[in-house]
Amino acid sequence: MAGQERARVLVLHGPNLNLLGQREPEIYGATTLAEIDAKLVQLGQELGVEVETYQSNLEGELVTKVQHARGRYAALIINAGAYTHTSIALLDALLAVGLPVVEVHLSNLYKREPFRHHSYIARAAVGQICGFGVESYLLGLRAAVGLINKA
Ligand code: CA2
């Protein structure tokens, strides 16, 4: 009997997250993005899903990646970085994609400047996890797998 294909989860990282581990460790921690991606792939294996990750500093590239996720992935996890607070384009793409979306952030948005308290993309997400550093992504993956298994 042929083995069942594992569900795929796409993790999107927005602008400046490529700098993780290199600048401002007091806010964002010392772990690099490559290390976060490796942890996600590893946890994905343990949870029985295939994790793919993608980072871009460009809003349009993230929008295109969300559009292409339709039919290819079972769920989407996104840390949209500063586009969280500005991007209606990303919100529209996430609303249109028809996949469960989990929004994650390293920092606790609500302990920071007021302009970070509003997320445009939150209304497209099943839920938001913020403030747990790298663990926010791992909790986000657990939440996404829970949603996939429930569907
Ligand atoms: O806490 C988060 O995960 C954020 O999405 C990070 C964004 C910020 O604009 C959001 O308000 C909250 C910023 C990512 C910038 O990452 C850097 C990492 C290292 C050095 C400089 C920036």
| Structural domain spans, the chain | 8-150
CATH topology of domain 8-150: Rossmann fold (3.40.50)
Q: Give 43-77 pLDDT, tens digit per residue.
A: 999 999 999 999 999 999 999 999 999 999 999 99
The whole-angstrom separation of Cα 93 and Cα 117 is 21
> What pLDDT is stored for residue 28 in this prediction?
87
Are 5 and 72 a contacting pair, CB within 8 Å? Answer: no
Q: Give 26-47 pLDDT, tens digit per residue.
A: 888 899 999 999 999 999 999 9
What pTM was estimated for this model as a whole? 0.97
CA of 34 to the centre of ligand 1 (A): 15
Residue 7 has pLDDT above 80, yes or no: yes
Q: Given ligand 1 and candidates 11, 12, 17, 109, which is best to mutate, with the most ligand atoms within 8 Å of its CB?
A: 17
Instruction: State the DSSP code for 91.
Output: H
